[in-house]
Amino acid sequence: MDIIQKDSEILRLHDETHEDIVKMTGISKSFPGVLALDNVSFNLRKGEVLALLGENGAGKSTLMKVLSGIYPRDSGDIEISGLKQEDFTTGKAKELGIVIIHQELNMCSHLSAAENIFLGREIIKRGVVSQDEMNQKAFEILSMLNIDIDPETIVGDLAVSKQQMVEIAKALSANAKILIMDEPTSALTSKEIEDLFRIIIDLKSRGCGIVYISHRLEEISLIADRVTIMRDGKYIATMNYADTSLQEIISLMVGREITEKFPKISCPKGEKIFEVKHLNAGRMVRDVSFELYKGQILGIAGLMGAGRTETTRAVFGVDPKESGEIILEGKPVTIRKPYDAIRNGLVLVPEDRKKDGLCTKLTVRENIAMPSLDVISNFFGVVNRQKEKMIVEKSIKDLSIRLPHSEVEAMSLSGGNQQKVVVSKWLARNSRVVIFDEPTRGIDVAAKVEIYHLMNDLKRRGIGVVFVSSEMPEILGVSDRIIIMCDGRITGELMAFEATQSLILTYATMFESKLSRSDAS
């Protein structure tokens, strides 16, 4: 990303305009039992990238939903290009060129990529939707993004990273003057991120004001001109990125020093708790074998499309297996569906928490208690409310889930707190092996550290932990042992103390065949 860094520095040097394209003053917003925004002020300049930072639940997304007309403000003023806005709706926001790319994908999975890109703005010719013209324009936009997606492909058939790029293409097609990006890179590959940053730099050069929300703080240095920090629904500070440091940003975000980014504990290597032998499941899981021991966290690394998520799904029984053996605590187990895995004490924290991990319209209590209904119900299926209350309260306390009470809907929580609910519902069952698939995707630095502490606690208690991550520093910092996948196969295995990013990347790009570690050496 060196070229992007140089382009960003040139634009920063020539950015002499301080014209406010957005000015928000004294914004407050309440939900039942929660003061989400407390007298917040915010401004965005024409032709700048403003990084909006804060922990999950800080109010960032709520503030941007007020700016895009999704939520009405309770009090405060909004000015767009110097004009005060009274009744501010989504329609008015669109008229003014305000476009938001949400953290959680909001797409019609049964429609094509082109139909999603032009949803609500269909191209009409002689009273009929011109599918051919929409496909052509969608192709042009996707080509500009350097993304190889057929505009006629049904979005539900695309990988999460490709769906994210379709969402970005949709925003760009609207000729945004004010573009809000809420965690736009959380599911993208390094190449896709680089293409996105080039587009951001180009939009900035045309005078577009961009609000960039991300928990990947290392990205901010590549594109941000200024940084605004929020905490607990309040405005904390705004500063030029060049005048601050990463440590200062983190301290302002969390209100305290975070001394250890990747906390790690040492445990003696225990007995083998879990083993997968010669697993095959479709094109992306080919002859996969690995072992897991008590007292260790096993990291699974690899590039996007390497087969890591597909492996976890096959192990958990979501996808059918063609062949292979799964051994838990020394005994072979048959897992044909997720229920079999759960019953045997093997659980999965999935990559897409909204789609696969939560019932967002149910309460936090219902989500946490649901997998344990067989434990907290009597012979007649009647739930013991006292047992349920104990499980739910302990889960909320153990994972420091921020919420006014357990009866709030899961959809009302921040991304980080939703992730904690997903984890907590499985731990309530006293599971023996927990598989985490991208558990820190889209959550803030402090919430990430809490997830790492949780993994360490599981390791200390003798529970097996398998950990899939696309972030190389995270894999190196958290894992005790690392296996690397490429093209559906395991191509390398390393102890954490001997692993480096370059060595992992070498194994992660071995497309030709499965190589033994000695052969690679």
> Above 80 in pLDDT, residue 297?
yes
CB 335 within 8 A of CB 316: yes
Range 399-437 burial, b when 16+ CB lie within 10 A, else e? bebbbeebebebebbbbbbbbbbbbbbbbbbebbbbbbb
DSSP code of 116? Answer: H
The residue ranking higher by pLDDT, 415 or 120, is 120
Q: pTM of the prediction? A: 0.61
- Tell me what the mean pLDDT of segment 77-88 comes to: 93
CATH, domain range 1-97+176-259: 3.40.50.300
pLDDT one-digit tens code per residue, 237-289? 999 999 998 888 888 887 766 667 788 888 888 899 999 999 999 888 999 99
Provide the pLDDT confidence category of residue 3 given band limits of 50, 70 and 90.
very low
The residue ranking higher by pLDDT, 519 or 40, is 40
Q: Cα separations (Å) of 52 from 44, 210, 336?
A: 10, 10, 45
Contacts of 365 (CB under 8 A, 6+ apart): 388, 392, 406, 407
Residue with tokens 């002689």: 126
> Above 50 in pLDDT, residue 50?
yes
Residue with tokens 């240095």: 221
pLDDT of residue 10: 46
Contacts of 314 (CB under 8 A, 6+ apart): 279, 281, 282, 285, 320, 321, 324
The residue ranking higher by pLDDT, 322 or 101, is 322
* Pairing label, strands 272-280, 234-240: unpaired
Q: Do domains 1-97+176-259 and 271-345+433-440+463-521 have the same CATH topology?
A: yes
pLDDT of residue 89: 92
One of 3.40.50.300, 3.30.390.50, 3.30.70.2660, 3.40.228.10 is the CATH number of 271-345+433-440+463-521, namely 3.40.50.300
- Tell me what the mean pLDDT of segment 427-446 comes to: 81
pLDDT of residue 71: 94
SS (H, E, C) 209-237: EEEEECCCHHHHHHHCCEEEEEECCEEEE
pLDDT of residue 512: 44
Highest mean pLDDT among 38-52, 187-201, 402-416: 38-52
Give the integer Cα–Cα distance in Å for 53 and 44. 14
Q: Cα separations (Å) of 350 from 48, 114, 159, 266?
A: 36, 28, 14, 26
> Above 60 in pLDDT, residue 17?
no
Q: Where are the domains of the chain?
A: 1-97+176-259, 107-175, 271-345+433-440+463-521, 352-430
pLDDT of residue 217: 80
- Tell me what the mean pLDDT of segment 492-502 comes to: 91
Give the integer Cα–Cα distance in Å for 458 and 474. 17
> Above 50 in pLDDT, residue 514?
no
- Phi and psi at 452, nearest 5°, equal -65, -40
pLDDT of residue 225: 95
pLDDT of residue 82: 92
pLDDT of residue 105: 67
What is the average pLDDT score of the chain? 85
CB 483 within 8 A of CB 490: yes
Provide the pLDDT confidence category of residue 13 given band limits of 50, 70 and 90.
very low
**Three-state DSSP class for 439?**
coil
- Tell me what the mean pLDDT of segment 383-388 comes to: 90
In the chain, the percentage of residues whose pLDDT exceeds 70 is 92
Provide the pLDDT confidence category of residue 55 given band limits of 50, 70 and 90.
confident
**Three-state DSSP class for 411?**
helix
